[in-house]
Amino acid sequence: MAMLKFKHNGVIIDRIIDITELALRDAHQSLIATRLGIDDMTGACEELDTAGYWSIECWGGATYDACIRYLNEDPWERLRTFKKLMPKTPLQMLLRGQNLLGYRHYQDEVVERFCRKSAENGIDVFRIFDALNDLRNIETSVRAVKAAGGHAQGTISYTVSPIHTTALFVDQARRLQEMGVDSICIKDMAALIKPQAAYDLVKGIKEACGPELRVHLHVHATTGVTLVSLMKAVEAGIDCVDTAISTMSLGPGHNPTESFIEMLEGTGFSTRVDMEKVLRVKSYFTNVLGRYHEFQSQVTGVETEIFKSQIPGGMLSNMESQLRQQGAGDRMKEVLEEIPIVRKDTGYVPLVTPSSQIVGTQAVLNVLMGRYKVLTGEFADLMLGYYGEGPGEKNREVVEMSRAHAKKEPITCRPADLLKPEWDKLRAEALALPGCNGTDEDVLTYAMFPQVAPKFFADRHEGPRNLGKDPVTGVSETTPAEGHQGAITGPITYSVTLSGHHHKVTVAPYQ
Amino acid sequence: MAMLKFKHNGVIIDRIIDITELALRDAHQSLIATRLGIDDMTGACEELDTAGYWSIECWGGATYDACIRYLNEDPWERLRTFKKLMPKTPLQMLLRGQNLLGYRHYQDEVVERFCRKSAENGIDVFRIFDALNDLRNIETSVRAVKAAGGHAQGTISYTVSPIHTTALFVDQARRLQEMGVDSICIKDMAALIKPQAAYDLVKGIKEACGPELRVHLHVHATTGVTLVSLMKAVEAGIDCVDTAISTMSLGPGHNPTESFIEMLEGTGFSTRVDMEKVLRVKSYFTNVLGRYHEFQSQVTGVETEIFKSQIPGGMLSNMESQLRQQGAGDRMKEVLEEIPIVRKDTGYVPLVTPSSQIVGTQAVLNVLMGRYKVLTGEFADLMLGYYGEGPGEKNREVVEMSRAHAKKEPITCRPADLLKPEWDKLRAEALALPGCNGTDEDVLTYAMFPQVAPKFFADRHEGPRNLGKDPVTGVSETTPAEGHQGAITGPITYSVTLSGHHHKVTVAPYQ
């Protein structure tokens, strides 16, 4: 009954769609504030490695930060552990271009050393993005990754605005191709990409760049529509999609790996992923989220209001807390109306780290103090070009205010071109810290997290701290979350968050 | 850029897709064990009524049962309240054909009176199904609904088996059309329909029955793939889909209304539903699930294992509890393997009330006592034709065992043809009960729920009981769940369920 098939252009397609598994990086970053400890991951690695994924995403800025800030884990050691346990499947990381995993631009030599060391320690695929889609901010890392033998994936930070047309993004893909990337990623961190938009964009990139250039699609699940967008991307020719094992999915996280595999049945598309192994990984992670309950995202269902406000869930809760600190918790609605105005003034920057924080904070200040009466240094820098340039036109009046406020001239060059060589200075400072082991890896930790590294170096010898707690007893433990449903014998206290209020809760047997 | 459109056959389509809202019936039945009280619904009615839905589903077997069993609410009074508050949008109910809302077959006069009374009290659209897809079990209600001026929707209980092909279901749709139904519903209660299957089936029905016969699609969200199936159904020509407001959706429930509306943007398809009103309904229901926490389904994420086991979530937890009562909680795996065998022996009945309970219980007995060593009366009746006939061939050996066990002959006639007139007897029995008000509505309550009706008639004067509790204080209340986040002043105790264990939990301020 070929006439009943919905195949595009009537063609019966028989094509493999690859999958990148997100459980070990973005899934727990989105769902439990990046707190997942290495002990809660190692037991899944063999199944993950042999399940047939195109890659396993397992490293990035927030995981690196959480390792040294909360978990007393050396992120490089974590990476080596992953490589040892998953030798077959390419390991993937998310890299903020010239920012590396930190919050400022680094001089090219630092970028080059970071990419080389990451490849040496186990990263195979580098997904490289810039918040403003300024390709000058990713060219050094693309070059360095390729020099180190890695796969350089050039990224489009997806957003929706009057200037962000399909044609604009397709043009960005072509420029990334000219730069020499090995593949393209469409990165939709706020779950904004709707089915038709996904179809049009993937199709457009494939037509402009040719069928050989791989296109990957990264989407979150927050708005509830993006599994449909993945289906449409498949029909349009996508090569690989990002999903997360079901027990580590949905809400502000991603679409479930199992659902993606199952939904392709009968369509002529299929994956290489072994469902039996995936279900064993699911079983492994079944209790993990519960053990990190205190870190769990408040958002669990879908939130379609994001389509209007453009504000990702994480940004929303940040702003609410900023407002409450100022005793202005009741002015959230004004802030939500101010954000699109501020974003427009910046030339419609995509809202992703760090631009989301910069725009959100400025909107809060505008509401509390009057529009642009007070500017943050970061906002002025953004307006003056110190984060790079986006495709949109900025409000010239606000640029002028920024110049006056920051007492700095606007720039049009690549921001990193203003930086002097800094590696030797960073190295000297790092090596002076007690506990620094003298490696380039430690220098990079210090370079990217100068506030956090000293304490981490000093405490590192104590070994990893697992923050998972038994969901019933509330007791921390270091073994994976299996078989912890035994009877409790007396009242036990732990903290829970209900409707944003923290409570100390005592649990005792009921029957 | 028309060439970038994914439109079927290259046609740019501009078509309205209708929506049936499930919040007031199946959503809370699936998510909080049907416990939602009328006080937690009335405040949303005006927005629901004017939002532009094709229909509002608000009545059915489980809601009727819960009204008289738990909520001390007269289900007919609830219906009249809905009609008063929602005069514009058609009200819809789910009807189990010859079973009405009970668990046995009723003689035709009872069926006719029920349909007439339901229409008189406010039901406009009757979705009529039979668990076995035996159309003889729905013909009386279809006729009665049409006689009462209602919209009779003939239903296909969707399932997956070697005999349940697209062609078989399309043939069923044609037979429903010949019976004179006003529309067809594909009812996928276990979230089994995958995108391609949904496309093929909708397309097949439209081609066989013509474009004028409306086709509706009802899916649950449990497996995570069915929003994609809705998209494919839209492309294949579906007229109306069922969704639930986002704060009452997902898990064992349904796809979020807002996500369905949003995902159509740019596709050439759209809805008539006013998003602003939908978001106000969302806001109204925001805290409702939390207030019914003790009734909340344990299943919250997606469960793709259902594709293999075919066992809906509710059935699974029932069987687990049956096994535990027998001290055989460790034999679940064997039962899961036994169910497909039992189901095959029945001729692959769809697993939906009451067949799901019958097959599940027999599988448990087979594991505990040896295969078919003990038969339930219901299972024997199913094998002997007393529930009607499905399209599959039954295991003749098991039919013989059933005949020997039940000491009854197999039948091939319509089961209700064996019933004698019973209305007068039911009426006399009902009127003898203290508190019975003498109406046909009360007689029907007694006819369908003879065990529960007496107590309900006696207690009815006490008025509705709202089982919702403040999520923080644990105190029952009768007003809608808004503004209950005030400070608590002392330790307060309520019960929670963690990993299936019940606990008494004491909550006290933390900071």
* A277 interfacial to chain B (CB closer than 8 Å): no
Residue B297 confidence (pLDDT) above 80:
no
Residue A435 confidence (pLDDT) above 50:
yes
H or E segment to which residue A59 belongs: strand A55-59
CA dist A93 and A79 (Å) reads: 10
Tell me which residue of B254, B249, B255, B258 sits closest to B276, measured CA to CA.
Answer: B258
* A279 interfacial to chain B (CB closer than 8 Å): yes
CA dist B27 and B29 (Å) reads: 5
Residue A479 confidence (pLDDT) above 50:
no
| φ, ψ for residue B128, nearest 5 deg | -115, 120
Which chain A residues are within 8 Å of B483, Cβ to Cβ?
none
Give the pLDDT score at B488.
36
The model's confidence at residue B145, banded by pLDDT at 50, 70 and 90, is very high
Q: How many Å is the Cα radius of gyration of chain A?
A: 23
Among A103-117, A314-328, A483-497, name the most confident range. Answer: A103-117
Q: Is the interface score ipTM higher than 0.90?
A: no
Hey, is A230 helix, strand or coil?
A: helix
Q: How near does any CA of chain B get to the CA of A418, in Å?
A: 42
Hey, is B507 helix, strand or coil?
A: strand
Contact A507 B503 (CB under 8 A): yes
Which chain A residues are within 8 Å of B505, Cβ to Cβ?
505-508
Q: Which residue of B has its CA nearest to A247?
A: B301
Q: What is the tens place of the pLDDT at every residue in A219-278? A: 999 999 999 999 999 999 999 999 999 999 999 899 999 999 999 999 999 999 999 999
Give the pLDDT score at A120.
98
Give the pLDDT score at B12.
66
CA dist B469 and A498 (Å) reads: 14
Tell me which residue of B207, B208, B236 sits closest to B217, measured CA to CA.
Answer: B236
* A266 interfacial to chain B (CB closer than 8 Å): yes
Query: If you average pLDDT over residues A336-346, what whole number do you get?
Result: 94
Q: Which of B259, B290, B304 sits opposite A246 (nearest CB)?
A: B304
The CA-atom distances, in angstroms, between B145 and each of B70, B98, B152, B344, B446 are: 29, 12, 6, 34, 21
Interface of A with B in 99-128 (CB under 8 A): none
* B139 interfacial to chain A (CB closer than 8 Å): no
Q: How near does any CA of chain A get to the CA of B474, in Å?
A: 12
* B479 interfacial to chain A (CB closer than 8 Å): no
* B228 interfacial to chain A (CB closer than 8 Å): yes
Q: What is the tens place of the pLDDT at every residue in A6-63? A: 444 444 668 999 999 999 999 999 999 899 999 999 999 999 999 999 999 999 999 9
Give the pLDDT score at A499.
35
Residue B10 confidence (pLDDT) above 50:
no
Give the pLDDT score at A312.
67
Which of the residue ranges A99-108, B147-156, B280-289, B378-387 would you say has the lowest mean pLDDT?
A: B280-289
Q: How near does any CA of chain A get to the CA of B33, in Å?
A: 19
Q: Taking all residues of chain B, what is their mean pLDDT, rounded to a whole number?
A: 89
**Terminal C-alpha separation, chain A:** 58
Contact A231 B231 (CB under 8 A): yes
The CA-atom distances, in angstroms, between B67 and each of B35, B81, B91, B457 are: 8, 14, 18, 12
Give the pLDDT score at A314.
62
CA dist A120 and A113 (Å) reads: 10
Residue B11 confidence (pLDDT) above 60:
no
Give the pLDDT score at A176.
98
By the 10 Å C-beta count (0-12 exposed, 13-18 middle, 19+ buried), A327 is classed as exposed
CA dist A459 and A439 (Å) reads: 17
The answer to whether A266 touches A2, Cβ cutoff 8 Å, is: no
* Percent above pLDDT 90 for chain B: 77
CA dist B260 and B270 (Å) reads: 10
Q: How near does any CA of chain B get to the CA of A461, in Å?
A: 33
By the 10 Å C-beta count (0-12 exposed, 13-18 middle, 19+ buried), B388 is classed as buried
Contact A509 B504 (CB under 8 A): yes
Residue A318 confidence (pLDDT) above 80:
no
Query: If you average pLDDT over residues B134-149, what whole number do you get?
Result: 98
Residue B197 confidence (pLDDT) above 50:
yes
Q: What is the tens place of the pLDDT at every residue in A177-192? A: 999 999 999 999 999 9
The model's confidence at residue B322, banded by pLDDT at 50, 70 and 90, is confident
| E strand residue ranges, B104-162 | 125-128, 151-157
Give the pLDDT score at B255.
97
Tell me which residue of A161, A183, A181 sits closest to A242, measured CA to CA.
Answer: A183
H or E segment to which residue A502 belongs: strand A501-509
CA dist B360 and B341 (Å) reads: 11
CA dist A295 and A478 (Å) reads: 17
CA dist A169 and A165 (Å) reads: 7
Q: Would you state the torsion angle of the CA atoms of residues B348, B230, A51, A184, taken in this order, to the nearest 10 degrees? A: 160
Contact B471 A506 (CB under 8 A): no
Q: Which of B499, B502, B507 sits opposite A471 (nearest CB)?
A: B499
Give the pLDDT score at B9.
39
In three-state form (DSSP H/G/I as H, E/B as E, the rest C), the secondary structure along B169-230 is HHHHHHHHHHHCCCEEEEEECCCCCCHHHHHHHHHHHHHHHCCCCEEEEEECCCCCCHHHHH
Give the pLDDT score at B482.
36
The model's confidence at residue B489, banded by pLDDT at 50, 70 and 90, is very low
The model's confidence at residue B509, banded by pLDDT at 50, 70 and 90, is very low
Q: How near does any CA of chain A get to the CA of B282, in Å?
A: 10
Q: How near does any CA of chain A get to the CA of B508, in Å?
A: 6
The model's confidence at residue B508, banded by pLDDT at 50, 70 and 90, is very low
Give the pLDDT score at A116.
98
Q: What is the tens place of the pLDDT at every residue in B44-80? A: 999 999 999 999 999 999 999 999 999 999 999 999 9
CA dist B407 and B401 (Å) reads: 10
The CA-atom distances, in angstroms, between A279 and each of A264, A287, B376 are: 17, 14, 34
Which of the residue ranges A34-48, A440-454, A462-476 would you say has the lowest mean pLDDT?
A: A462-476
Query: If you average pLDDT over residues A156-163, what whole number do you get?
Result: 96
Residues in contact with A410: Cβ distance below 8 Å, sequence separation at least 6, in sequence order? A383, A384, A385, A399, A403
Put the strands of the sheet holding A492-498 in their side by side order: A492-498, A501-509, B501-509, B492-498
Task: Give residue B17's identity as a one-letter amino acid code.
Answer: I
* A489 interfacial to chain B (CB closer than 8 Å): no
Query: If you average pLDDT over residues A306-329, what whole number do you get?
Result: 78
Better pLDDT: B206 or A504: B206
Residue A504 confidence (pLDDT) above 60:
no
* B305 interfacial to chain A (CB closer than 8 Å): yes
* B199 interfacial to chain A (CB closer than 8 Å): yes
Give the pLDDT score at B5.
41
Which chain A residues are within 8 Å of B168, Cβ to Cβ?
none
Give the pLDDT score at A423.
98
The answer to whether A240 touches A19, Cβ cutoff 8 Å, is: yes
Give the pLDDT score at A293.
87
The model's confidence at residue B277, banded by pLDDT at 50, 70 and 90, is very high
Q: Which of B197, B246, B301 sits opposite A247 (nearest CB)?
A: B301
The answer to whether A396 touches A377, Cβ cutoff 8 Å, is: no
Q: Which of B247, B255, B265 sits opposite A196 (nearest CB)?
A: B265
Among A64-68, A477-481, B5-9, name the most confident range. Answer: A64-68
Residue B151 confidence (pLDDT) above 70:
yes
Which of the residue ranges B236-245, B321-330, B496-505 would you say has the lowest mean pLDDT?
A: B496-505
* B498 interfacial to chain A (CB closer than 8 Å): yes
Q: Which of B10, B259, B472 sits opposite A304 (nearest CB)?
A: B259
Q: How near does any CA of chain B get to the CA of A304, in Å?
A: 6
The CA-atom distances, in angstroms, between A300 and each of A248, A296, B286, B314 are: 12, 9, 12, 22
CA dist B254 and B276 (Å) reads: 21
Q: Which of B250, B496, B499 sits opposite A485 (nearest CB)?
A: B499
Hey, is A216 helix, strand or coil?
A: strand
